[in-house]
C-alpha cells in the first residue's frame, strides 16, 4: 500500500488504510511462481500448483482429449495456448514452467521481475494437431539424416 509491501498481512494492510491521510494507492499481486489456472478446450478449468502435469489437471476437471498415449504419440494430446501459441503435450508438459508472454518479453530484453508474477494469466488450451504433425516431420528429418550418415559411413 502506497509503495510499502505488506507481504500478504491483511491486518497490516487494514491498519495502513485506516491510518492513511488522503488518497491510498493499492497494488495487488500473486505469490511469485504461484498456482496457475488451466482452461481446457471444453471450457472446463482448474487452478493447479506449478509442476502439476497437464494430464493430471485434465483428469482432475474431467477433461478427456481422447489421448491414449502416455508419451505424447497421438495428435489428440497436442495443445497450444490460445494467447501465446506455445505448444503443450498433455502427458509431457507442465503448466507454468514453459514460456509465457512475459518470458518472451524477457528474451527481448524485458524486465525479468514481471515473469515471476505471470501465473495470473490463465493457460487457455486449444487443440493443435498441426504441432503433432510438425513434431513427426522433425523426427522424420532426423531419422533420414541419421540414415544418410550411417549409409555414407559404410561406403
Domain total of the chain = 2
Write down the pTM of the prediction. Answer: 0.62
Query: Which residues lie closer than 8 Å to 101 by C-beta, 6 or more apart?
Result: 83, 84, 118, 121
Does 52 share its domain with 100?
yes
Question: How many other CB atoms are there within 10 angstroms of residue 133's CB atom?
Answer: 12
Domain match, 55 and 42 both: yes
Residues 57 and 40: their CA atoms lie apart, in Å, by 9
| Shared-domain flag, residues 25 and 46 | no
Instruction: For residue 152, give the H/E element and its range.
Output: helix 129-154
Pair (72, 106) in one structural domain: yes
β 45-48/78-81 pair status: unpaired
| Claim to verify: residue 18 and residue 36 sit in the same structural domain | no
Q: Are 80 and 12 part of one and the same domain? A: no
The verdict on 63 and 126 lying in the same domain is: yes
Tens-digit pLDDT string for the chain (155 aa):
788 887 777 888 888 888 988 888 887 665 556 678 889 999 999 988 877 788 888 989 999 988 888 787 889 989 998 887 888 888 887 665 544 555 555 556 655 454 454 556 788 899 999 999 998 999 999 999 998 888 765 54
Amino acid at each position: 500500500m502506497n509503495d510499502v509491501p505488506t507481504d500478504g498481512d491483511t491486518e497490516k494492510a487494514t491498519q495502513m488504510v485506516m491510518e492513511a491521510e488522503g488518497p491510498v494507492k493499492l497494488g495487488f499481486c500473486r505469490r511469485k511462481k504461484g498456482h496457475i489456472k488451466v482452461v481446457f478446450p471444453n471450457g472446463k478449468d482448474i487452478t493447479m500448483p506449478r509442476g502439476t502435469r497437464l494430464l493430471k489437471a485434465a483428469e482432475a476437471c474431467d477433461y478427456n482429449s481422447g489421448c491414449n498415449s502416455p508419451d505424447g504419440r497421438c495428435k489428440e494430446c497436442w495443445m497450444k495456448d490460445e494467447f501465446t501459441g506455445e505448444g503443450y503435450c498433455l502427458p509431457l508438459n507442465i503448466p507454468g514452467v514453459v514460456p509465457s508472454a512475459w518470458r518472451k518479453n524477457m528474451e527481448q530484453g524485458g524486465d525479468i521481475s514481471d515473469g515471476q508474477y505471470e501465473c495470473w494469466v490463465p493457460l487457455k488450451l486449444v487443440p493443435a494437431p498441426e504441432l503433432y504433425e510438425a513434431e513427426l516431420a522433425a523426427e522424420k528429418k532426423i531419422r533420414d539424416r541419421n540414415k544418410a550418415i550411417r549409409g555414407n559411413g559404410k561406403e
